Amino acid sequence: MDRDEIALYIHWPFCIAKCPYCDFNSHVRDQVDHDTWRSALFLDLRHEYKVNPSPRISSVFFGGGTPSLMPPRLVADLIAEADKLWGLIEGCEITLEANPSSVEASKFADLASAGVNRVSLGLQSLDDKTLQFLGRAHDVKEGLAALATAQQNFDRVSFDLIYARPGQSLHDWQSELAQALRFGTGHMSLYQLTIEPGTRFETLVRTGELVPADDDHCADLFDLTQEMTTAAGLPAYEISNHARIGEESRHNLTYWRYGDYIGIGAGAHGRRLKSATERHKKPENFLSAIQRNGNGLKVEQALSPDVRAAEALMMGLRLAEGLDLAALEAKTGLAIAEMIDSQEVSKLAEIGLVERTGDQLTITSRGMPLLDAILPKIIADVLRT
């Protein structure tokens, strides 16, 4: 991404129900005053523009929560306001996350007219029993109908699936993934089920009512996923994201390449001007902060060069392309290549988990399933200095 460009993330915190695996900032409310939220999000946008008015917007991402619950008119107004303030680059990628219910799918044509040109659909599974287990409100028939509607209305469509579910065999996942690959989308996000702290699933695991898949089985499922998606022309460009060449999520690549991005709305995070920002998470607290201060900020903190380097490593090494250490040195002023030239990293390279070619550092295909264990070892070299 060009230095004169910045990504924009807009968080819509509301959901119809809270899924038992979800640790995102989502809230169930009986009533949502859309006029109040329009005013609040506009003020939050304008505050960020005053802080950083120079770059243009390279991508917009409506996340949540469930942003497909937003009125299309509000989506259009927010896109127009961002364009008025910063300006959108030509061909700006504008993504909206959507649940695959028939009610939300009925808005797809209006959302496309509002300016959304890419949709990310939360199918999560192609099995009705699993959808019930995951707490989803839709069934397979409704989900596939929503996918067909999305493909009719948007040039670019992605969808999510969750695998490594309790009791899921290799054969089960092979059949489900083969079906998913036949839908013909240019992008898929395939996530292993993770038991996140504070979720209902964590409580069930703690009480013994839910037994997660073991690590060896998860590794076999991961390997199968890579084989099948690569053969279908959708290789992994990030550990959980697969795309045809040119169909990668430009917005998410900004995160993974440690570019600057604005985050507005309840609970949104941002990285801009060497600072981290975080908005109030609870919707009512966010609106109160907007009333008091004209923005929803809870945290605005300058990041030291070593912390920025550690974050860049944590994000960039998720990518198949790896990380350019020379570019990171130029961005932070730190001798990153020397810092990570440690005995620990050498050991990882010797056993084929990481690869160092000049200034390029990558996690190998063999190392990707062990990413959560490898990253702390590499990042520790930077934070020790």
d(CA 306, CA 241): 28
Q: Looking at beta carbons, which pairs linking 123-127 to residues 24 or more positions away fall under 8 Å? A: 123/147, 123/159, 123/160, 123/161, 124/160, 124/161, 124/162, 125/161, 125/162, 125/165, 125/176, 126/161, 126/176, 126/179, 126/180, 127/176
Q: Which amino acid is at 162?
A: I
Q: Are 161 and 123 contacting, i.e. CB atoms less than 8 angstroms apart? A: yes
* pLDDT at 137 exceeding the cut of 90: no
In the predicted model, what is the mean pLDDT of residues 237-250?
97
Query: Does the pLDDT at position 385 exceed 60?
Result: no
Q: What is the per-residue pLDDT across 347-373, written as a single tens digit (0 to 9) for each?
A: 899 999 999 988 899 999 999 999 999
Structure tokens at 235: 């290789």
Residues 310-353 pLDDT 10s? 999 999 999 999 999 999 999 999 998 888 877 788 889 999 99
Residue 3 has pLDDT above 70, yes or no: no
* 6-to-50, 102, 137, 141, 328 alpha-carbon distances in Å: 14, 34, 35, 38, 18
Nearest by Cα to 281 from 65, 95, 136, 38: 65
Q: 3-state class of 276 per DSSP?
A: strand
Mean pLDDT on 268-275? 96
Residues 6+ apart with CB under 8 A from 157: 118, 119, 121, 147, 150, 151, 185, 186, 187
Under 8 Å between Cβ of 119 and 98: yes
Q: Which residues contact 113 (CB under 8 A, 6 or more apart)?
A: 72, 76
* Residue 257: DSSP 8-state: T
Least confident of 43-57, 80-94, 186-200: 186-200
pLDDT computed for residue 30 by the predictor: 86
The whole-number pLDDT of residue 346 equals 85
* pLDDT at residue 207 is higher than 60: yes
Q: What is the pLDDT of residue 73?
A: 98
Average pLDDT for 197-202: 89
- 172/104: higher pLDDT: 172
**Which letter does DSSP use for residue 321 in this model?**
T
In the predicted model, what is the mean pLDDT of residues 42-49?
98
State the pLDDT at residue 1. 54
| pTM (predicted TM-score) | 0.94
What CA–CA distance (Å, rounded) separates 73 from 111?
8
Planar angle of CA 58, 80, 189, nearest 5 degrees: 45
Q: Does residue 4 have a pLDDT over 90? A: no
Q: What is the pLDDT of residue 2?
A: 56
Checking if the pLDDT of 23 tops 80, the result is no
Helix (H) or strand (E) holding 333: none
- pLDDT for the residue 246: 96
- Please give the domain boundaries of the chain with CATH numbers for all domains: 5-256 (3.20.20.70), 305-383 (1.10.10.920)
